[in-house]
Structure 1
Amino acid sequence: MTDLALRQAARPASPTNASDLYRAVWRWHFYAGLLVLPFLITLAVTGALYLFRDEIDALVHADLKRVEVAATTATPSAMIEAAIARVPGTAVKFTTPATPTSSAEITVKKTDGEKLAVYVNPYSGAVLGTLPDKGTIMTFVRDLHSLSFFGTIGRTAIEIAGGWAILLVATGIYLWWPRKGRGGVVSVRGAPSQRIFWRDLHAVTGIFVGAVILFLAITGMPWSVFWGDKVNEWANGSNFGYPTGLRVNVPMSDEHMNHLGQTSWSLQQAEVPLSSVSGTAAISVDQAMKTFDRLGLAPGYAVNIPTTAEGVYTGSVYPDDLDKQRVVHLDQYSGKPLIDLSYADYGPGAKAMEWGINVHLGQQYGALNQYVLLAACIAIVILAVSAAIMWWKRRPIGRLGVPPLPGDRRKLAGVVTILAIGGAIYPLVGASLIFVLIFDMILTRRWRAVG
């Protein structure tokens, strides 16, 4: 190699090369935002509301959920009788009061198959009123947040949006990275009438909240359609859906925990055991709940009441404190615990996922957890609004306003290769990446033909 060639090889990247890389990253940051921001606004608003689900439900449904403390309490069986007198049918679940001022909730399945939640005063045994099962205002908000209204399509959208949000943050950090001067790094310049104000507001907000968005995107993946299911299988182990190493030596049914109602993510596919039919009479719901109390289930636990000869009493509770999560299955005849599972029994993978989910829901660290995530949700809305305003101010008339192609197409290919790594981790994101690549090629050719 000649001296001239050596000097050229040692020379730092030219401004043109740096500009090409910036344009390549900017172009894909734009595409990521185009795909993700509409979802992020919806997720941020519904997520902010759901952080305060207990408080909002208690306010909206105060007539059903709040009671005055009294000296004596009604038995569970008496409350069930009162609920069935109001709504004829079969009681399938009893949820105990979480606090002294909370009502009990009894789920009754009517003869036509419809389920109603009947709220009962645990002291007087009087029925306070009814709602459709899972009919509270915050259940509706949760379904909006998870896009469960749209079934598999919604869960697919969650996975794609989560994966692209990760790519959005990664490319955003590169675009924010200081190059010349300090303006717009941690301060906002200009006035709202100027594009630079919205650029700086977007960049500064993004860099402060980027880590939280990454966390929320990753911990939201357990609800996704492909990645979530596969990781769920891995985290659960292979012993009837229970954590690997947990001893399960009792007969199992084909029923799964997620069919009974709310359960932890790690136990969604866990099978429910069977009672050993011995010809003896089944224990009463009062006796079953005394056993659950003796075993130390935290207040607010739910009891699934057996409706078949081989069914079990299942007590489960998922409070804010992960260490108090508990699932206990009782033989309906002997009252013997068949499986007793707590958070401590989960494997490392399941523990990590459950911790992430608990923090994602704003539960693990109390009010601090709620308000930190509330600030993040507000910041996400600011990011979306500022991005839209920036785009509006710079868009060419009659065009989408996609950032210009780099002069050196190898830079664009390099960025796409890096994004493809994320697509390999999240396959549905990879499929959408191919779609966007095809869209970009069509758009580029069309503009060349027009221009």
Structure 2
Amino acid sequence: MRRTLMSVHRWTGLILGLFLAVEGLLGAWLVIAEPLDEWLHPEILQSQPQAGSEPVGLAAAYDAVSEAHPDRPIWLLMQPDEPTGVYKAVLEGHHGPRVYVDAYTGAVLGERAAFSTLETPIRVIHTGEFGGAWLETGMGILAIAMLGLAITGIVVWWPGWKWLRTGLGLSTASLADLSRDGHRWAGLIGLPFLAIIAASGIYLIFHHAVQDTVHAVTGEETHFPPPIELAEEAGPMPPDHVRAMVASAREAVPEARITLLGFPTEAGRAVQARMRYPGEWHPIGNSRILLHPDSGALLAAYDFQEAGPGDYAMDHLYPLHIGTYGGTAARTAHFVAGLLPTLFLLTGTYIWWRRRKLRRKRARPRGGGARAGSR
């Protein structure tokens, strides 16, 4: 059994190792992309807090973007999550231009195309979004492979309690020893983070299948958003309507902070708000509110803290995937974990190549005796 698992571990790593290494590097980049982008472009991505002043609010930011781009509908508007942050608006759709508004003056600071940011193009590749459903499924298969490598790696390594001390050794006597022990130690240290990232990645790709399975086990019947059809046309709305939406969202989940408003791009769709509780792991919160696009009235609400155990657990998987559950320490650990598949690919390939070379060497006749006897 152990030999079979070793073969599975080895060949899975050799066949899929390059793809896993690329995925890991892309994921590591996404961990640092946003703060790096803010550092490189403070003129559009940072506000200067004014003494005694408060942020202008989502309605004022919506108004500023609408005035600057009257013919381009706002698709998404995000609240800054730091005192030096800016309001971020996305125009027209998912990959539309980004517009940035100063949090204290309400002035439009600038605009960028989606793929000129440090995060969007890498995220599109990392998730397989650019290749459609089939490539996203392939990314899910890579996540399953990563989880399988983590599990089989620990099983084939386990030396037993008697030889545990030997199994935990670290030798630097040769490149072969360093590769073998470095591969082992990187796997042992990175195992919890790699397992978390892989398991949560499986959920993110196969979201509906996992959700249906969990609901079948727990008996929960949460299906959000519910189907809602409205007659009013979608499009730019007066700031008073946005204020009404903000008020409705706050009334629905009074202890949470509104982080995002998503506006429909077609008629008959509701506006969606996201809400975040203090200390919640998710960067924009898991609570979701549906609002009437004309009146701002509440249509439906999903309160994260009132969810059943299955939904509550699944709501934590995205933060576990991106490392927002433990502040800077967790984000750093996830960044390092993203580098580990490259280390595994290099050391694992070297170990395999060297063992294969040694087997061939042992299989050769010694001393040329075979040639001498054949003359």
TM-score by length of 2: 0.77
Residue pair 1:305, 1:313 contacting (<8 A) in 2 also: yes
> Which protein has the larger Cα radius of gyration, Structure 1 or Structure 2?
1
Separation in structure 1 between the aligned mates of residue 311 and residue 14 of structure 2, nearest angstrom: 33
| CA-atom RMSD in angstroms | 3.6
Q: Per the alignment, do residues 40 and 192 of structure 1 end up closer, same or farther by CA in structure 2, a change over 3 Å counting?
A: farther
For 1:166, the aligned partner's letter is: L
The answer to whether the aligner puts 1:48 opposite 2:9 as a matched pair is no
| Partner of residue 292 from structure 1, selected from 249, 263, 275 | 249
Residue pair 1:321, 1:363 contacting (<8 A) in 2 also: no
In structure 2, what is the equivalent of residue 57 of structure 1?
Answer: 37
Residue pair 2:215, 2:221 contacting (<8 A) in 1 also: no
| Structure 1: runs of 5 or more not aligned | 1-20, 238-242, 247-265, 405-451
In structure 2, what is the equivalent of residue 312 of structure 1?
Answer: 270
Separation in structure 2 between the aligned mates of residue 335 and residue 182 of structure 1, nearest angstrom: 63
Give the deviation of 1:322 after TM superposition.
Answer: 4.4
Separation in structure 2 between the aligned mates of residue 76 and residue 196 of structure 1, nearest angstrom: 58
Residue pair 2:193, 2:333 contacting (<8 A) in 1 also: no
Render the CA deviation track for 1:10-62: whole Å, top value 9, x for unaligned: xxxxxxxxxxx554333222211123321221222222222334422322332
| Partner of residue 178 from structure 1, selected from 137, 151, 159 | 159
Give the deviation of 1:77 after TM superposition.
Answer: 4.9
After TM superposition, list the pairs within 5 Å mapping 1:39-438 onto structure 2: 39-70=19-50, 71=53, 74=56, 76-87=58-69, 88-109=71-92, 115-133=96-114, 136-178=117-159, 185-193=167-175, 195-224=176-205, 227-235=206-214, 244-245=220-221, 270-271=225-226, 273-275=228-230, 284-293=241-250, 295=252, 296=254, 298-299=256-257, 301-305=259-263, 310-317=268-275, 321-322=280-281, 324-396=285-357
Give the deviation of 1:390 after TM superposition.
Answer: 1.4
Q: Secondary structure in 2 aligned to 1:51? A: helix
For 1:36, the aligned partner's letter is: L
Separation in structure 2 between the aligned mates of residue 190 and residue 78 of structure 1, nearest angstrom: 61
Identity %: 21
Give the deviation of 1:276 after TM superposition.
Answer: 7.7
Separation in structure 2 between the aligned mates of residue 331 and residue 288 of structure 1, nearest angstrom: 8
TM-score by length of 1: 0.66
Q: Per the alignment, do residues 272 and 121 of structure 1 end up closer, same or farther by CA in structure 2, a change over 3 Å counting?
A: farther
Q: Secondary structure in 2 aligned to 1:204? A: helix
Render the CA deviation track for 1:100-159: whole Å, top value 9, x for unaligned: 32211223339xx98322111232222111123475312222223223232223222222
Separation in structure 2 between the aligned mates of residue 129 and residue 59 of structure 1, nearest angstrom: 16
Separation in structure 2 between the aligned mates of residue 173 and residue 345 of structure 1, nearest angstrom: 38
Residue pair 2:46, 2:84 contacting (<8 A) in 1 also: yes
For 2:209, the aligned partner's letter is: K
Residue pair 1:84, 1:108 contacting (<8 A) in 2 also: no
Residue pair 1:44, 1:380 contacting (<8 A) in 2 also: yes
Residue pair 1:315, 1:329 contacting (<8 A) in 2 also: yes
Number of matched pairs: 347
Q: Per the alignment, do residues 102 and 92 of structure 1 end up closer, same or farther by CA in structure 2, a change over 3 Å counting?
A: same
Q: Per the alignment, do residues 67 and 236 of structure 1 end up closer, same or farther by CA in structure 2, a change over 3 Å counting?
A: farther
Q: Per the alignment, do residues 290 and 188 of structure 1 end up closer, same or farther by CA in structure 2, a change over 3 Å counting?
A: same
